[in-house]
Structure formats: C-alpha cells, structure tokens
Amino acid sequence: MQIKPFGVEMWMNEFETRCELNLAETCVDSMTLGELLDMAGQRATVLDALLPMRLGYGDIEGSARLRDAVAALYAKQARENVLVCHGTIGANALVHQALVSRGDHVIAVVPTYQQHYSIPESIGAEVELLRLREEHSFLPDLAALKAMLRPTTKLIAINNPNNPTGSLMDQAMLSEIAGLARGVGAWILCDEVYRGTDQTGDGYTASMADLYEQGISTAGMSKAYSLAGLRLGWIVAPKPMLEAAMIHRDYNTISVGCIDDYLAALALENRDKVLTRAHRITRDNLGILAGWVEGEKRIGWVKPKSGTTALLKYDLPMTSRDFCLALLEQEGVMLCPGSAMDMEGTVRIGYACGTEVLEQGLARISRFLARKGNR
Ligand SMILES: Cc1ncc(COP(=O)(O)O)c(C=O)c1O
C-alpha cells in the first residue's frame, strides 16, 4: 500500500534525540512512573498488584476497569462503547481502515495530524481538505464545510482541540457540524487526544461521541494525562462501529500491554491530580509564551485556547525547514517546521514541556532572531 511519508513524525524521528531543548514535543511534560505512583498513593504497594499479574494477552478489548475509567470521561458512554488501542495513533488508523473504502468521499480539516488525510488518501478515497484559516482563528468555516458535503460523504475528520493551532471548537460549533453531517448521514471522527487541556475551567470541552449518533471520538494517555510511554489510546463510538473496527484490530493489535492497561486505569482514576499538574504546566507556560510573542516583532500568532502547541508566523525570508534547521544548528532548539503540516511560513512550538526548558528555549530563539537584525 502506497502512503505519503508522515511529515511531522519524520521530522521528530530525525531530530528529537539530537536537540538540546525540545520545543517541538506535543505531550504535556511526561511523568515518571514514580510520580504517577505517588499521585495514586501506590508507590509502596504497586508490586502487590503487578507480581501476580499473568503476562498473557490480558483482556482483548481492554480491561473492564480501564474501559469504565475511559467511559467516565464522557457524558453518555458506557464500557461497551470503549475500545482500547495502541495509542491514539492506533485508534485513528483503525477508524479510517474500518470506515473508508476506495472511492469514498472524505473531508478532513487541515492543518491537523496527517493520519486524517493521508490514510484515507492511501486507501483510495477522494479526500477534500477544509482549510483552517488564521482569519477565522483557525476554526472551520461551516459554510465551506456545508458546500463540500455530498449525499455520499462517508467521513468528516476533525481534531478538537487542534494540533498545531491550539484552536478549540465549543459545544455549539461541534453540534452544528454534527447537524451538517446528519443531513447526509456522514460519520464524524473527532480526534480528541488533547481533550482535557483547555486553558480555562476543568479543561474539558464536549466530546463528539456524546453529541452525535454517528460521532466517533479518539483519545489517549499521551497529552493531557502526560503518559505517552504507555502507548495507550481508545476509540469511543457506537457499538456497531467498534465491531467493524474489531475486525481490523484482530489483524494488527490483538490487545495492548496489560501493565500499560493497569497504569492507564490508575492514572485515569487519579485524573484530578494528573490534570492539576498538567494544567499548571500548560497554563503557566502559555502565559510565558504569550509574553514572549508580545515582545518579538517578527513573530505573530493566534493565541491557543487549548492543547499544547501554537502555530507561530514568522517574518523572515526563509522556508520553515531552513528556519528550523538553522535554529537547531545554531542554538540547539527544536521547533517543528510548518511545511511538515502543510503550513509553510509558520513553525509549531510545543509549550507544555518543563517551564525551564521553555524559558531557556525562548531566550535562545530570541538570540537567533536578533542575529537576523531588526525589522
Ligand atoms: C492530533 C493527534 N492525534 C494523535 C496523536 C498520537 O497520539 P498518541 O501518542 O496517543 O498515539 C497525536 C500526537 O502528536 C496528535 O497530535
């Protein structure tokens, strides 16, 4: 099967272990196992749970304990609506494989995680891109979406909160999109891996799976829950959709690791503490980033409302890849070039790293920009 190379992941693979300060990362600064166990009050007792664990395939669809903890993140979902997968990346891939066939009409927002347009394209679908534009604060233009819809549209793939822009569709907008999809009987896949990181309130915005009878939400442990190393995600959807996904999952997953499943359940059961830490990082750090953007004449943005990333527009006569390579070489700081996500003229910054890393990284970027001279 032919598929386009995954721009962002290739960039990350090439440089993330070679930079000094990683401001390209999209996870909330990952926790250690010790931090998680301390939050859960299990440091002294965890082996009592782990030692008797048989390291077989475990519960094929995910443990009941984990699926209940995931269902509790949603307003209207039960255990039977949750299918545990290998990361959100595995969850997304399964949804596309299960729903999309050659010749289907698929609409995907751009920019977003490349899976959402390159996988359906590789299957042979007709993929139309709905551009998120700066002048609309990187929110979808619903009139444009309406004009794109056909009676045969199979799937609309959206991403809320959005990577890379940090834009956030509220419940009213999600419901409007559901209404449009309902009109043509299309499925909506909403990649919600950043759900829980809103800058205000408890961090959560409504989930598409709760708003639409053909709504599918994917998410996982990597971002808000700060545990990317568990490689654990899920699909939340109506049961028949999960049954269709299971047919493919039997070929490429079997089950996730049972220790990962156990630790994910522990983290979600202690979600308040995990999120208190995550919100401290995302909210303090966005404040720092906002102050920096304000003072940098060559940098512009739409300030994120959620997520862990921001798209920075720069006023320099160079491609985003050259910008990022020069910054890496001269200052050891890693950003992600907009070209890797079809947004030339911009760079993506991940600001949910440790606060010191962010501060040092921004100071070095300022030094780099200063060498380019004042405007
Ligand atoms: C929008 C989006 N979806 C999915 C993923 C993959 O997440 P996971 O680590 O849970 O597989 C990412 C990772 O950056 C992402 O940004």
The position carrying tokens 């066939």 is 101
Give 24-65 pLDDT, tens digit per residue: 999 999 999 999 999 999 999 999 999 999 999 999 999 999
Percent of the chain whose pLDDT exceeds 70: 99
Predicted confidence band of residue 240 (pLDDT cuts 50, 70, 90): very high
Ligand 1 near 233 CB (within 6 A): yes
Provide the pLDDT confidence category of residue 375 given band limits of 50, 70 and 90. Answer: low
pTM above 0.95, yes or no: yes
Distance CA(188)–CA(102), nearest Å, equals 18
Q: Is 222 in the pocket of ligand 1 (CB under 6 A)?
A: yes
- Give me the chain's average pLDDT, please: 97
C-beta of 191 in contact with ligand 1 (< 6 A): yes
Given the CA of residue 112, which atom of ligand 1 is nearest to it? 1
* pLDDT tens column, 88-113: 999 999 999 999 999 999 999 999 99
Q: Is the CB of 165 inside a 6 Å radius of any atom of ligand 1?
A: no
User: How confident is the model at residue 1, as a pLDDT?
Assistant: 87
Q: Which of these, 4, 14, 2, 3, lies nearest to 337 by C-alpha position?
A: 14
Read off the tokens for 274.
């995990």
Q: What secondary structure letter does DSSP report for 254? A: S
112-143 burial, b at 16+ Cβ within 10 Å, e below that, comes to bbbbbbbbbbebebbbbbbebeeeeebbbeee
DSSP 340: G
Give the number of the atom of ligand 1 that is nearest the alpha carbon of residue 8. 14
**What pLDDT, in 10s, does the model give residues 300-356?**
999 999 999 999 999 999 999 999 999 999 999 999 999 999 999 999 999 999 999
Reported confidence tier of residue 373, pLDDT bands at 50, 70, 90:
confident
